[in-house]
Structure formats: structure tokens, C-alpha cells
Amino acid sequence: MAEAPDEQLMLAYRDGDAGAFETLYARHRARLFRFVLRSIKSRASAEELYQEVWMRVIEARATYKPAARFTTWLYAIAHNRMVDHWRRAGLNAVSLDGIDVPADDPGPQRHMEGREALARFAAALEALPAAQREAFLLREEAGLTVAEIATATGSNEEAAKSRLRYALAKLKAAVVDG
């Protein structure tokens, strides 16, 4: 069961197999959490929204049909929850607080440069328009294709592709500058 595809696990959970959900949750918890956290400034709000997404998955298990990849369905739910969140609170950027630095210690000078480069990248990610940032995060965290990003965000492929390209161009510029 551990190697079973997501869709099969979800169907098993629909039929009452709680263990299938645990496997599914373990697969997606970290990526989904980062996607939500980097889309929303507040960690508390991110945790609340993250829990809402999973509750929605649990609630919708009875009507689940594997018409698309489970991942696309999961991130579509997350997208909808975030849209609701943004409507309530306005557009918020990702937080720069608590950025972890790689463990290797290349020396004080390199360490400072590394922190600055990472901060620049984080700032560039934060400065992205929400739709572009979401497209980038869906690509990086969820591993969705352009078509799947379009499906998850309720847009068309051209729009999704355009957002992803703009996001990559800005982030690439931030990396090169570093």
C-alpha cells in the first residue's frame, strides 16, 4: 500500500481505510505546508489554512473521483482556500523571517554573502505577484506541469505558462545578481 498511487490511496480512504490516508498525508504534508506557508505571510494563518485544506480533503472523500491526479486536486483545494484567505485579509507576501541557512560553515565572509543572496532571493519571491508566485510554488513544491497548474488555479494554460515564465525570469535575475 505504501507504493500505491495517490489516487488509489484516496479511494481506499474513501472506503474506510484510515491507514491509506496516513500514507497519503505523509507524502504531501511537507510540500503542501511549504506551498501554503510561502504564499501567506503569517505562520499561524498558514497552519490554519493548511488544516482547512486537509479537512476539506477528508470531507470530500465520499465524492472523490480520480478524474485528475490527486496532487492537482489537492492543490486546487489549497488554491481555493488561499483565494478565500486573500479575499478576507488582502494580498500578503511570504515572510522573510526564519530563513534557514545551510549548515556548512564556509567562513564568516561567505556566510554573510550566502545570507545576503538568500535574502535577495526570498525578497524577489516575496515581491512576485501572487499569481506568479503561486505558479512558481506549484511547479517547485507540487511538481505540477503547466497544464496542471492551469487546472489547479482555474486558469488556462497560456496564462499559467506566462505567469511561470515571468516568475522564473524575476527569480533568475535575483540569483544572477547574487
Partner 1 sequence: MADERDPKVSQRYRELGAEVPSRELDQAILAAAHRAADKPHAPLVTPVGRHRWYFSLGAAAVIVLAVAVTYHMQQEVPDPDSVAVPAAPEERAVDAQAKRPAEKPSPSVAPAPQPSAPEPARELAREPAAPPPQVFVPDPESQRQERQRELAREAPGARSDSVGAAASRPGTAAQAERRAEPGPAPAAKPMQAPVVEAPERMLERIVQLRKEGKHEEADKLLAEFKRRYPDHRIPENVVRP
- What's the helix, strand, coil split of the chain in %, to 5? 75, 0, 25
Q: How far is CA 92 from CA 33, 83, 126, 169, 170, in A?
A: 16, 11, 9, 21, 18
List binders of partner 1 among 31-50 (CB under 8 A): 33-34, 37-38, 47, 50
104 interacts with partner 1 by CB under 8 A:
no
CB nearer to partner 1: pick between 69 and 163: 163
Judged by beta carbon, residue 76 or residue 144, the one nearer partner 1 is: 144
H helical segments located in 60-107 = 70-89
Note the Cα 14 to chain centre separation in Å.
Answer: 24
Binding test (CB under 8 A) with partner 1, winner from 54, 70, 73, 75 = 54
State the residues that interact with partner 1 by CB under 8 A.
13, 15-18, 21-22, 25, 29-30, 33-34, 37-38, 47, 50-51, 54-55, 58-59, 61-62, 98-100, 102, 117-118, 121-122, 125, 139-140, 146, 161, 164-165, 168, 171-172, 174-175, 178
